[in-house]
Amino acid sequence: MALRTLESLGDLTGKVVGVRLDLNVPLDGETITDDGRIHAALPTLKELAEGGARIVAMSHLGRPKGAPEARYSLRPVARRLSQLWSGSVSSVEAVTGPEVSEAVSSLAPGDILIVGNLRFDPRETSGDAAAREEFAEELSSVCDLVVSDGFGVVHRAQASVVELEALRPSAAGRLIEREVAVLSQLTGSPERPYTVVLGGSKVSDKLGVIDSLLPHVDHLVIGGGMVFTVLQALGHVTGASLLEADQIETVKGYLAAAQERGVTIHVPSDIVMAQGFSADAPHEVLPVDALETGAAGAEAMGLDIGPESAQSFAEVIRNSHTVFWNGPMGVFEFDAFSPGTRAVAEALTQVDGLSVVGGGDSAAAVRRLGFDDDQFGHISTGGGASLEFLEGKTLPGLEAVGW
C-alpha cells in the first residue's frame, strides 16, 4: 500500500496532465460561500505548472442528474481560481469532445483549463462499468498523464476517480498524499491522550468510525443531533429532539464496549432547548435530566450543547495531544445555536499536538465561524471519505493510485 506520488510521473514539460479535483464548493447563486477546496487544490496545481505541465482540471459540482444544468456550472470556480492563479485559467462547458480538444491545443505550459461538470455526463456515476470505462476513455483522450487529487470523492467508484487513472500513467496529488498521511496517524500510533469528537445529525452515520476507533482512543466526546439517541440510551428523555429510535440498543452496545476498553465517554450535561427549528426560536438551557421541563415541555428540541457542556468538552480537547473532530455540536448555521460548535473549534486551535477537522459540515463550520485553516493541524476536504478511511474501508479512488 504505497501511493504513487507526483515524482513517479517523471518529466512534465509540455505534457497535458488531467487532474481530478474536488471543486464541489457551496454556492449562493453564482457566489462561492466557502472556497476552501479551491485553496486546497493549489499546491498540486502549482507544482504541476512549475514542472511545465499543461493542466486540464476536472471536477463535479452539486448533484446534476446526468445532464447540463446552469446552476451547476463550474464557471464560478474558474473565476475564483483565476483570481488565485498567476497564469491563465480558462473554462469550457463541454466535458469531452471537440470543444475540449480545441481548448487543450491552445494551452501553454502552466495554463489551466477547467472542463465542464463531470456529472453532466451520466456515465461518470453509472453503475455500469462499461459505461464508466467509455467515459474515461473520452476524458483520457486529451491527457498524457493523470493526477488524482479529489480526496472528497475517493470513496466513490466513478469514471474519473477509478477508470481514468488506469488509462494513463497516474499518481496521487499532494492533497491526497497529505490526507492519507494525516488520517493514517489517527489509526496508527497517535500521541496520547487521543480524543475523538463526534457530532452531526445521525448516530447511524458514525457507528462505523466509532467501531473502528474505539480500540485506539482515550476519550469520545459526543454532541450534535446524534447525541439525543445516546442520551436516550442512557435513560434520558429528550423532547422533540432528533432521534434514531432504532439505534438505541446498538448505541447501548457501543457504550458498554467503550466502558470495557476504558474509553471515557463525554456527553453533554446541559442542552440548549428551543421551541422550534428556526434562527429566532425562543430557547433556554436545561440540564440533561430535565430536558422536558422548559416552556415548550416535551415539544422542545435540542439545537446546541449548553455552555457548561461546551466548557467541559473544550477542556477535554485542550488537554489532548491528538484530536479528530467530525460533526458540529449544534445548528451552527443559526447564530443562537452556534456557541457549542465555536467552543469545540476554539479548543482545537489550542491543542498541543495534532488537531484534525474531519471535513464536511465541520470544515464549513470553522470557516463560517471565522477561523483560519492554518489554526488547525489539518482540515480534511472529505467528510464521508475521511470517515470511511478511518473505518478501514477500501476506497476505490485510493486503490486506483496504488494505496
Smallest CA-to-CA distance from 346 within 42, 325, 104 is with 325
Among candidate residues 327, 360, 383, 397, the one labeled active-site is 360
Phi-psi bin for 235: left (phi > 0), alpha (psi -120 to 50), beta? left
Among candidate residues 62, 208, 276, 384, the one labeled active-site is 384
Among candidate residues 202, 252, 318, 368, the one labeled active-site is 202
Is 46 catalytic? The answer is no
Is 4 catalytic? The answer is no
Is 202 catalytic? The answer is yes
d(CA 392, CA 101): 40
For residue 125, list its beta bridge partners. none
d(CA 111, CA 108): 6
State the residue for C-alpha cell 507544482.
47
Among candidate residues 4, 37, 132, 342, the one labeled active-site is 37
What phi, psi does 338 have (nearest 5°)?
Answer: -100, -15
Largest CA distance in the chain: 70
Is 223 catalytic? The answer is no
Catalytic positions: 37, 202, 360, 384
